[in-house]
Amino acid sequence: MRILANDGISQDGIDKLKENGFEVLTIHVAQEQLANYINQHKIQVLLVRSATEVRKDVIDACPQLKLIGRGGVGLDNIDVDYAEKKGIPVINTPEASSDSVAELVFAHLYGGVRFLYDANRNMPLDGDSKFKDLKKAYAKGTELRGKTLGIIGFGKIGQATAKIALGIGMKVLYHDVEVENKILNLTFFDGQTLSFELKNSTKEAVLKQSDFISLHVPQQNKYILGKSDIDVMKDGVAIINASRGGVLDEVALVDALESGKVAFAGLDVYESEPTPEIRILMHPNISLTPHIGAATLEAQERIGLELATKIIEILK
């Protein structure tokens, strides 16, 4: 059985699939040529990440497909319901990248409270001539310990983010439309564990009480955080979005940064991705990464192995 991993797959995943009799192709096929390639090469399993879309036209054009897999959490680039109606299972890896995304959230948070997003821009320019001025400018950092992190969306990634926050001594509030309460187990290097029970709060309570807000929601057809939401937040709040572009109103965000309502923001995803707006890219109070939340070696290995395991279970 032949598999096309159009957006790549880890070597561990490839090895496991080959050991179980699958042939794996890792060539990247352009979107407009995808259906033809699948048919010409008798592909029966299509694996994608976020770069490739699997819409109704591809599904209709490739009747021999037996399974579609997404390496990652979101399935917004796949017409899942339509595929399943056609008898094609759709799988993803909802847990494999959770820790990687959560750690990136804290990279943005730690960088924000110590002004690294700005210092890293200015030190190469003025570090040799204005060292003391820069030292003074960045001398009023704050600590995360003891502060409140508000999490909007409490799936696997939101929970992984909460675990890090609890581990460094933060208070965690969350709002989720489905998860009413959750017991989180923190496991430490020596085998010890601690359990924390968290209860769902209203969105308004999270926004009003949190020092930092982190978004962890799937693709939406409207903003989860807009101007009215930002207005009820604490003055000097920070906002991190490592979930999906389009869930945060970027115009409202920039206005709030300009007014000082929001102290800083960290963005890994963008409304107009893959061409983020210049006002976002050039803003001095935004920490920027190019949608790399799941892009760690460890996450890629877990994703590949999880995909391989599910493919083997379903098709063998």
pLDDT, one tens digit per residue, over 183-242 is 999 999 999 999 999 999 999 999 999 999 999 998 888 999 999 999 999 999 999 999
> Any catalytic annotation for residue 244?
yes
Q: Of 41, 114, 279, 291, which residue is the catalytic one?
A: 291
Same fold: 2-93+297-315 with 98-288: yes
Tokens coding 141: 């950092």
Q: Which of 75, 114, 70 is nearest to 93 (CA)?
A: 70
Q: Catalytic residue among 53, 95, 103, 273, which? A: 273
For the chain, the domains span 2-93+297-315, 98-288
258 is catalytic: no
- Of these residues, 49, 70, 244, 283, which one is catalytic? 244
- Residue matched to tokens 């995808």: 34
Across 26-32, average pLDDT: 95
**Residue range 297-301: mean pLDDT, rounded:** 93
- pLDDT score recorded for residue 37: 97
Question: What CATH number belongs to 2-93+297-315?
Answer: 3.40.50.720
Q: Output the pLDDT for position 95.
A: 84
Q: What confidence tens digit (pLDDT) does each residue in 34-93 have?
A: 999 999 999 999 999 888 999 999 999 999 999 999 998 778 899 999 999 999 999 999
* Over residues 105-133, mean pLDDT: 96
- At 119, the pLDDT band (50, 70, 90 cuts) reads very high
Q: Where are the alpha helices (DSSP H) in the chain?
A: 11-19, 34-40, 56-61, 80-85, 98-113, 116-126, 131-137, 156-167, 203-209, 227-231, 250-259, 278-281, 297-315
CATH fold of 98-288, please?
Rossmann fold (3.40.50)
CA distances from 242 to 2, 5, 50, 125 (A): 34, 24, 14, 29
Examine the residue annotation and report whether 291 is marked as an active-site residue of this protein: yes
pLDDT for residue 239: 98
Query: Which of 144-148, 164-168, 177-181, 255-259 is predicted least confidently?
Result: 177-181
pLDDT confidence of 176, banded at 50, 70, 90? very high
Average pLDDT, the chain: 95
Confidence (pTM): 0.88
> Looking at residue 10, what is its pLDDT?
94
The pLDDT of residue 94 is 83
What is the C-alpha to C-alpha distance for residues 137 and 110, in angstroms, rounded to an integer? 17
Question: Is residue 306 pLDDT above 80, yes or no?
Answer: yes
d(CA 174, CA 1): 44
| pLDDT attached to residue 76 | 84
| Pairwise pLDDT comparison (176 vs 316), residue with the higher score | 176
